[in-house]
Structure 1
Amino acid sequence: MWLNNFEIVLEDRVVERGAVRIEDGCIVAIRENPVAADAIEGNGRLLLPGFVDIHGDMIEKEVEPRANVRMPLELGIYDLDRKLASCGVTTAYAALAFQPDFYGHARPVEHTAAMIDALTAMREELLVDHRVHARFEVDLSSALATAEGLLSAGVLGLISLMDHTPGQGQYRNIEKHVTNLARQRGISEAAAAELVRQRMSEGSAGESIKVVADLANLARTRGIPLASHDDDSVEKVALMHGLGATISEFPITIEAAAEARQRGLATAMGAPNALRGLSYSGNLSARQAYEAGVLDILASDYHPSAILPAVVTLADLGPGGLAASVALASANPARTLGLADRGRIAEGLRADLVIAERGRIPRTRATLRGGRTIWSDGRIMGL
């Protein structure tokens, strides 16, 4: 099958009008001019590599769309799977959190483990290639035993370490955190401030350090990529680098992002941040990081439809144009996670592709995984 007359985004350049041939689920030929054979006609639409999303924490919201309203796990996974495919995501790392009770909002280990079990059992019938990114809060005493169990089952693709204690990391701006918490919970700022005070008084620094060291050692010995989370200082980056982290997720400051890059860690930030131009927590802007040359990866975070318009927006802000910005959501995360068979439009790789259209808001028209159409809005004849 030929995909003809597309604007093809390669890793290092953009082909204005070209064609890609797919056979047996792989890309076997790329032409930098239209072909004269029977083909799927692109009419100048964009052809991108499928997005590799290293951090999407949407499953929990699909399963529990409102507080204390639990839907069947399988239904939530099916819904998320269709949503991801419609957004151009062909490989998705579900970022599932293991953490103690925060402010009365518990995520029991058993519930998170059940979501992982359901996702793993359903993998072969889903549209997108789903993998597991386990997020461990550093004051969760059962973190090591939980991680060991998941690794023994062979279901973990990425581990990240989180510390959501107010006063540092994502919540270093305590006043803004209190305001956001009050808004989210529908309570007064005074009540929110009391919850934050209680949270800050909990936990043990010694226990947290042990959890971090144990999980880092486990990831290293099992060959699982390790990510730090919400790095807010060069000292924290140095610590996580020393423990073996290869990814710095959502660095809080430009200094932390620059230090991560200098030490060889890939920096990852959210596509919603890049699209809006600011962090909802008041932290580092993904646009600022990209313009400074310290952003490597864009993840869906909590809103996968932001990926496509975000990479198109960033194309005007960096020297590499659209090829470089698209790599943030495809080639770069694939390379960082050791997925050598995807992430680029290149001969011999999987035909994981996105057909998109420019406009006031860029839109996905079709998504292919392994050469098979997994989602289409019907605008591309033959797909």
Structure 2
Amino acid sequence: MPAEQILSNAQVVTADRVFLGSVVLRDGLIVDIAEGRSQLPQAQDLDGDCLLPGLVELHTDNLEKHMTPRPGVDWPSTSAVLSHDAQIIAAGITTVFDAVSIGDVNPKGNRMQKLPAMLNAIAAAESAGLTRAEHHLHLRCELCHPDTLSVFRDLVENPLVRLVSVMDHSPGQRQFVLESKYREYYMGKYHLNDETMDAFIKLQMANSKEYSDRYRAAIVEHCLTRGLSVASHDDATLAHVEESAGYGMTIAEFPTTLEAARGCQELNMKVLMGAPNVVRGGSHSGNVAAAGLAAEGLLDILSSDYYPASLLQAAFVLADQQDGGDLSRAVKMISLAPAHAAGLSDRGEIAVGLRADLVQAKKSRDGLPVVQQVWRQAKRVF
């Protein structure tokens, strides 16, 4: 890596404007930003492409697909992590929070058994310098599982943990206010018949009553003591949002209604929605559309969720939908806003003194942003 790099002839996307300019990198940082093209012979010509801050992803379960590429197939852990990492960096994501689930709604699931191998592989790959993106952990805590609290206490001391979310996927909670919808969803997902579904509902409701409130309070209190950001999940009503904010949560993952999103804004909770929701034009489960929240000024953060490439694409889709095509505002949702929500103040925008995490993206004829190069702390990693 040269001591100094000059990236020139780029549409530089800063936090408040887009302009043709040049960016100078040194010692892993952005040291200068200037309008116009650099005349220095060593400057790298970016051909007028967009130069964006490295993307920050707070919630992706993409690693699970690589750990278990087919039902019943367990892939070697380190290989799975590196395959996942390659897909992440190719999407322009330079900081990723790998979402791992504590507790499993699936009565036949084995997520809990796979956790140690998954976490050990991430830590080993990071410490050996094998990953191209920077990996952190997002612990997703299923409150109605009996073992969630004890496993959380074992894992939360892992230095890679920087974000925790709490969920209750039992009937009558959050996303599934109607038992009929809950029954329809899980019978299809887990191939349950009426008898096994009845037993499943009975167990989930009993576990929720026994553990949910107690575990939520204990987990959030522990996180706030350690300075970790905490997110709620699937808030559907103002009462849900008030409860989450009352506990001290600062991020709302995937609120399902306009009412909940408005409540988040009033109570200073950052609204996180799925980028696939934007790209596809709506929620796959029939909840509120992310683009609609953006139009109302209620959307703060985008997450690729289950499809890494959707993150960058969604920002460009939103920019095209906004009056004046405000790309800076849309890009904040995939860089600066998630970085700050997770307590990372050294990245997320193109500004002097911040980390040189950058993405060069060429806009295709149909408007699709295509990643050309990626730098992490000034080192080209893609």
Asked if these proteins are the same fold (TM beyond 0.5), I'd say: yes
Q: Using the alignment, how far apart are the partners of 2:103 and 2:379 within structure 1?
A: 38
Deviation at 1:202, TM superposition (A): 3.9
Q: Could you say which residue in structure 1 is the equivalent of 2:25?
A: 22
Deviation at 1:120, TM superposition (A): 1.4
Contact 1:274-1:310 at 8 Å conserved across structures: yes
- Does residue 373 of the first structure (1) align with residue 373 of the second (2)? no
Deviation at 1:261, TM superposition (A): 1.3
Number of residues of Structure 1 aligned to a counterpart in Structure 2: 372
Q: Using the alignment, how far apart are the partners of 2:159 and 2:120 within structure 1?
A: 11
Q: Could you say which residue in structure 2 is the equivalent of 1:347?
A: 352
Q: Which stretch has the larger CA shift, 223-232 or 141-150?
A: 141-150
- Does residue 297 of the first structure (1) align with residue 304 of the second (2)? no
Identity %: 34
Q: Could you say which residue in structure 1 is the equivalent of 2:321?
A: 317
Q: Could you say which residue in structure 1 is the equivalent of 2:278?
A: 274
Deviation at 1:177, TM superposition (A): 4.9
Paired residue for 1:220, among 220, 224, 227? 224
Q: Could you say which residue in structure 1 is the equivalent of 2:147?
A: 142
Cα distance change, pair 311–145 in 1 and its aligned pair in 2 (3 A): same
Q: Could you say which residue in structure 2 is the equivalent of 1:47?
A: 51
2:137 is paired with a residue of what secondary structure?
strand
- Does residue 94 of the first structure (1) align with residue 98 of the second (2)? yes
- Does residue 129 of the first structure (1) align with residue 145 of the second (2)? no
Q: Using the alignment, how far apart are the partners of 2:292 and 2:15 within structure 1?
A: 22
Deviation at 1:198, TM superposition (A): 4.5
Cα distance change, pair 175–140 in 1 and its aligned pair in 2 (3 A): closer
Q: Could you say which residue in structure 2 is the equivalent of 1:335?
A: 340
Contact 1:136-1:162 at 8 Å conserved across structures: yes
Amino acid paired to 2:76: P
Matched ranges for 1:144-293 at <5 A = 144-172=149-177, 174-185=179-190, 187=191, 194=198, 197-198=201-202, 200-293=204-297
Deviation at 1:199, TM superposition (A): 5.4
Q: Deviations over 1:208-238 (max 9, x none)?
A: 1100010011011111111101111111111
Contact 1:138-1:211 at 8 Å conserved across structures: yes
Contact 1:177-1:281 at 8 Å conserved across structures: no
Q: Using the alignment, how far apart are the partners of 1:137 and 1:37 within structure 2?
A: 55
- Does residue 80 of the first structure (1) align with residue 84 of the second (2)? yes
Amino acid paired to 2:141: F
Paired residue for 2:8, among 4, 7, 13? 4
Deviation at 1:308, TM superposition (A): 1.2
Q: Using the alignment, how far apart are the partners of 1:142 and 1:181 within structure 2?
A: 21
Contact 1:165-1:199 at 8 Å conserved across structures: no
Q: Using the alignment, how far apart are the partners of 2:140 and 2:372 within structure 1?
A: 32
Q: Deviations over 1:257-297 (max 9, x none)?
A: 11111111111011111111211111111101111111100
2:24 is paired with a residue of what secondary structure?
strand
Deviation at 1:184, TM superposition (A): 4.1
TM (norm. structure 1) is 0.92
Amino acid paired to 1:276: R
Contact 1:141-1:211 at 8 Å conserved across structures: no
Contact 2:301-2:338 at 8 Å conserved across structures: yes
Structure 1: where are the runs of 5+ without partners?
376-383
Deviation at 1:192, TM superposition (A): 8.6
TM (norm. structure 2) is 0.92
Structure 2: where are the runs of 5+ without partners?
none
- Does residue 34 of the first structure (1) align with residue 37 of the second (2)? yes
Q: Could you say which residue in structure 2 is the equivalent of 1:363?
A: 370
